[in-house]
Structure 1
Amino acid sequence: MTSPLHMGWFGLGSMGLGMAMNLQRHLATQGGPPLHYSNRSLEKGQPLQEAGAVPEKDFASLVRQSDVLYTMISNDEVLLDLVDQALSTDVSLEGKIFVDTSTVHPDTSALAAQRLGERGAAFIASPVFGASRVAAAGKLIFAMAGPAAALQTVRPQVDVMGRAIIDLGEDVRKSSLLKITGNILVISFMEVISEAQVFAEVTGIGSQQLEEFIGNMFGPVLESYSHRITSGAYAPPLETPPGFAAALACKDMKHALSLAAEHHTRLPTVEIASSRLNAARDYAGENLDSAALYGIARQETGLPFWTANSRQGN
């Protein structure tokens, strides 16, 4: 009889905490070892600890304790730094599985896989589709690529965090590429809906009427994008974190635009969205949702950046 796997988690932002909670609850019901976790701000893991998970003081300690280690972090630099830390530990990495659920450049995933593979570890690139509420509900979509045996090993845990897995084979670049392609659609939908909502306001149609049409015509997903605008969630109160931070969306768009240029194509809608969202960050700070490009679209029409439902400034 094989010993149960020890699971680790690093990264407890708005996405990571919900995912880790679902994983810990699953492990508790199975009667196996609890989830071990770490984070730059360890106090963010208090709900996990209350659910039975075990905190580790740093990433190196987490690597020692884990057979399978999940990461959900903000950008490429953080992922490569964590890889460096793993490689610098005195513990053997042979047979360990690293699963990164973040959105990073395909080259970053390939480099992480190569460097960890040289030490006998497997790397799975597994970016996810869905916002923080979807993560908390365990309904994410996982785009996964990596060694087949490692994918088979982690699938039972992934199934409790998501509603679907898209298997992209062994080339870890493929899942990163799919995630970036998916985000081209997401940000483009947000750009177009923002433009339509501004048009609806200046012509007198009405934001709520347009949102009702979007829901009836295109379904709940696009209606939810519109609601991030009309509810004011594009510029939440300063003490409330955004659903999909503008800085992260800009990072993802930068990856998409660089890859498009590399392959001699253009993404005009993403170019506009990137310009507007970066302008929103310059104007209103970093506590903004990716939908904040709507605020700049309003300004370009002579309307204020803020609405009655958003916060009113910084």
Structure 2
Amino acid sequence: MISSTPRVGWYGLGSMGLGMSLNLQKYFQANNLPPLRYSNRTLSKGDALRDAGAIPGDFGTVVQSSDVIFTMISTDDVLVALMKDVVAMGFSLEGKIFVDSSTVHPETSEWVSKHLNDHGASFIAAPVFGASTVAAAGTLIFAVAGPATAVETIRPLITDIMGRSIIDMGEDVRKSSLLKISGNILVISFMEVIAEAQVFAEKTDIGTKQMEEFIGNMFGSVLQSYSKRITSGAYAPLLETGPGFAAALASKDMKHALSIADGHNVRLHTLETASKRLNTAREYAGECLDSSAIYGVGRMEAGMSFWSQNSRQGNESSK
């Protein structure tokens, strides 16, 4: 039975996971609660978390020492492997709650839920909407699905700490994964359309600055921020800087969306175009690309260079 103040663990310290877990640890410290325990494939990525008072360790120790365990990882395979590993360790999982905030296929969420339930643990699929800056600000949107009692246990760990709102998707864990993938259909499709508009603006001498100003005035700050990822050159950042929403992860998410759509006889024409362009970008410019790198391919198709004045200029480091 989990107490009113559960012990919390964390695995996965990428650009999203680090910001989320830091907000959680700061909350625990400010309220004199037990510190967060964390693990990661590269433990040194959690140095800022350790400095904030969290306790590092291997994944098994984190699970054993925690009532609630959050995961934020990159791919379905990593999540499945983690859950297989934790069961193979042999200690009791009875009553523990696992919360995954990654973007994975609904069938993966369903498999993890059953796998953990068979060993006495509960699983909540809680993917998030928002970039790494939103994660750091603690204003993510969570789509949450899982056993109602478990959801109520973790709700105080999310609201006004890691997220600004929770969308309740019921008990079927596939539903929150589906909503997340649906959200990414919109996000990547918006990026595709904005990329096309900015290529048009450059080729016709409207001006990318003027197009961006129009996008902000007409459609708001969110879509304007997508445009800024293009015009700032962040679509192809310096190799030592790294991307915001990595092209490889966006391609994985689009693959999930397109496969689910195909299974339901639905065509996602804009996403199909974006997927082809992003894969072309990765083949041309490597993996240090943002999801907005579809813009670079749009430029090439219009007879311009993949690289803009503000992006890096090739696949070699600029140092």
Report the TM-score when normalising by structure 1: 0.98
How far does residue 90 in structure 1 lie from its aligned partner after superposition?
2.3
Matched to 1:167, the amino acid is: D
Which amino acid is the alignment partner of residue 134 of structure 1? V
> Match for residue 25 of structure 2?
24
**Helix, strand or coil at the partner of 1:37:** strand
State the alpha-carbon separation in 1 of the partners of residues 59 and 43 from structure 2: 11
| 1:212 equivalent in structure 2 | 213
Q: Do the aligned partners of residues 2 and 144 (structure 1) sit closer, same or farther apart at CA in structure 2, a change above 3 Å counting?
A: closer
The root-mean-square deviation of aligned C-alpha atoms, in Å, is: 1.0
Instruction: Report whether the alignment pairs 1:8 with 2:12.
Output: no
> Gaps spanning 5+ residues in structure 1: where?
none
Residue of structure 1 equivalent to 2:229: 228
Partner of 1:312: 313
- Match runs of 1:56-205 below 5 Å: 56=57, 58-159=58-159, 160-205=161-206
Partner of 2:302: 301
Q: Distance in 2 between matches of 1:262 and 1:236?
A: 36
Separation in structure 2 between the aligned mates of residue 3 and residue 139 of structure 1, nearest angstrom? 24
SS at match of 2:166: strand
The CA deviation string for residues 63-111 of structure 1, in whole angstroms up to 9 with x for no partner, is 1111100000001000000110111122210100000000000000000
- Distance in 2 between the 1:2 and 1:109 partners? 26
Q: Which residue of 1 aligns with 2:36?
A: 35
In 1, the alpha carbon distance for the partners of 2:254 and 2:6 equals 36
Match of 2:244 in 1: 243
TM-score for both structures, normalised by structure 2 = 0.97
SS in structure 2 at match of 1:33: coil
How far apart, CA to CA, are the structure 2 residues paired with 1:72 and 1:222? Answer: 26
Matched positions, count:
313
Name the SS for the 2:15 alignment partner: coil
In structure 1, distance between residues paired with 2:313 and 2:3:
58
1:15 partner SS: helix
Superposed displacement of residue 212, structure 1: 0.1
For residues 189 and 4 of structure 1, the distance between their equivalents in structure 2, rounded to whole angstroms, comes to 41
Percent of aligned pairs sharing the same letter = 66
Counterparts of 2:198 and 2:94 in 1: how far apart (Å)? 53
Match for residue 287 of structure 2? 286
Distance in 2 between the 1:235 and 1:46 partners? Answer: 27
Distance 1:148 1:284 in 2: 45
> Residues 9 and 20 of structure 1 are in contact (CA less than 8 Å); yes or no, is this contact kept in structure 2?
yes
State the partner residue of 1:257: 258
Which segment is superposed worse, 61-70 or 289-298? Answer: 61-70
The whole-number CA distance in structure 1 between the counterparts of 2:125 and 2:4 is 25
Matches within 5 A, 1:260-279: 260-279=261-280
Mean Cα displacement is larger for which, 263-272 or 84-93? 84-93
- Aligned equivalents of 1:31, 1:86: Cα separation in 2: 29
Q: Is the 8 A contact 1:59 1:85 kept in 2?
A: no
